[in-house]
């Protein structure tokens, strides 16, 4: 066998052996997928006040849920509460904003991202952030309505 062909044969054999038998070292740790998701549970206008209730629901009990949600209309915001729930699978946050005259567009969501007061879940040493990418995040929905 010529040298390039021999090198190619050795490389292929090495790849096959690695795929069949592993590298002999420990396998890389896989990030656990989040058991949680966030959604707008209720969003309505009652007696001139727009009210929303935002929930984080997990399919199992987790160590900690920190939920910061907001209600927005134009340049007005309601973001008064940061709720911390421990050893549970459900956490909710309520916000309200007095309605203005006429029809207005309102939006609700949970805070996203890396910086406080972002919404996040912690369990067994893992931290998942609201709408962060990949295995580091969990889905958080939002909503919009006109009242």
The token duo for 144 is 């919009």
**Of 115, 80, 99, nearest in space to 147 by CA:** 99
In a domain, 95, yes or no: yes
pTM: 0.74
Contact 71, 50 (CB under 8 A): yes
In a domain, 76, yes or no: yes
In a domain, 19, yes or no: no
**Of 69, 64, 50, nearest in space to 117 by CA:** 69
In a domain, 27, yes or no: no
Within 8 A by CB and 6+ apart from 143, the residues are: 40, 43, 52, 107, 108, 109
Contact 81, 74 (CB under 8 A): no
pLDDT tens digits in sequence order for the chain, 147 residues long: 555 555 445 445 554 444 444 444 443 444 578 899 999 999 999 999 999 999 999 999 999 999 999 999 988 888 888 999 999 999 999 999 999 888 999 999 999 977 766 899 999 999 999 998 888 899 999 999 999
Domain containing residue 75: CATH number: 2.60.40
């Amino acid at each position: 066998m010529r040298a390039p062909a021999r090198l190619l044969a050795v490389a292929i054999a090495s790849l096959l052996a690695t795929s069949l038998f592993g590298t002999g070292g420990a396998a890389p740790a896989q990030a656990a997928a989040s058991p949680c998701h966030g959604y707008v549970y209720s969003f309505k206008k009652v007696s001139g006040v727009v009210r929303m209730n935002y929930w984080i629901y997990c399919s199992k009990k987790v160590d900690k849920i920190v939920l910061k949600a907001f209600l927005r209309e134009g340049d007005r915001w309601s973001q008064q509460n940061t709720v911390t729930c421990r050893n549970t699978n459900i956490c909710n946050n309520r916000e309200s904003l007095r309605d203005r005259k006429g029809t207005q567009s309102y939006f609700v969501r949970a805070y996203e991202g890396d910086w406080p007061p972002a919404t996040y879940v912690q369990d067994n040493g893992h931290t998942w952030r609201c709408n962060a990418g990949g295995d580091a995040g969990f889905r958080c929905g939002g909503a919009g309505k006109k009242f």
